[in-house]
Amino acid sequence: MPKFAANLTMLFNEVPFLERFALARKAGFDAVEFLFPYAFAASEIRRRLDDNGLKLVLHNLPAGNWDAGERGIACLPDRSDEFRSGVAQAIEYAQALGVGQLNCLVGKAPAGVDDATLRKTLVANLLYAAGQFDRAGLKLLVEPINRYDIPGFYLNRSDQTLQLLDEVGAANAFLQYDIYHMQRSEGELAATMQKHLARIAHIQLADNPGRNEPGSGEIHYAFLFAHLDRIGYSGWIGCEYKPATTTEAGLGWLARARA
């Protein structure tokens, strides 16, 4: 049976962030993930994890000014120093929180910069991050995002991301496969996950359209969960969806998946 982690950026968001850990445990989750921990002291987050017997399975590197619409800075030629500072900060939090993998949102391609420059910048930054993570015993994850939700995002497809990782050439760098984003970008969900299973370190889910809970849209999640079991996926699946009403009201899918 797949292992599910509550994404606390998206779920239980009717209450303050630090109160969501207890709600995740009450709902039956053994693990959590979230976008960013940096607005809080690592000790505060660690206490919530420990108090509720939860494992943290993922958070992201700093991604620039999120509130202003930035979605990562790894491909931006004038932000490499900031990116490298963010790598150090992410490692510090990861070690304090006991998480073994961190996701890098590479960012939106800026206007007026040629692709060769963006690519060179991104490869160099990912190579730097992978080296620093390797010394810290961490995996580096890179996630493609569909162009409808985030127009201009530099990576949109799994094959495109794997080609980038080939160019980086780091043994600890993996694909983060978000089922929702890849349904919108490319389809072929089951075949792609099976083909690239060894290079996928983390999976996330939401249904389409709407990015709501599984069972609300077109994606056949009962099939995909059984498929992931058949092909031997042993990682976590992060529940990064927007509840259609409340988190608790929409958790019927979780009970069915565990039945």
Q: What is the share, in percent, of the chain residues with pLDDT greater than 90?
A: 98
* Lookup: tokens for 148: 């409808």
Residues 179, 68: Cα–Cα separation, whole Å: 26
Residue extents of the structural domains in the chain: 3-258
Both tokens assigned to 27:
């709902």
- Predicted TM-score (pTM) of the model is 0.97
Which stretch of DSSP H or E encloses residue 105? none
188 carries an active-site annotation: no
Coil, strand or helix at 231: helix
Tell me the per-residue pLDDT of 3-25, one tens digit each, with 9 for 90 and over. Answer: 999 999 999 999 999 999 999 99
Burial class of residue 39 (count of CB atoms within 10 Å of its CB; 0-12, 13-18, 19+): exposed
**Active-site annotation holder among 14, 33, 240, 248:** 240
Task: Give the active site residue among 14, 44, 143, 188.
Answer: 143
Name the average pLDDT for the chain: 97
Residues 6+ apart with CB under 8 A from 9: 34, 35, 36, 240
Name the CATH superfamily, with its identifier, for domain 3-258: Divalent-metal-dependent TIM barrel enzymes (3.20.20.150)
Find the length of the chain.
259
Is 240 an active-site residue?
A: yes
Return per-residue pLDDT of the chain as tens, 259 residues: 799 999 999 999 999 999 999 999 999 999 999 999 999 999 999 999 999 999 999 999 999 999 999 999 999 999 999 999 999 999 999 999 999 999 999 999 999 999 999 999 999 999 999 999 999 999 999 999 999 999 999 999 999 999 999 999 999 999 999 999 999 999 999 999 999 999 999 999 999 999 999 999 999 999 999 999 999 999 999 999 999 999 999 999 999 998 8
Residue type, 131: G
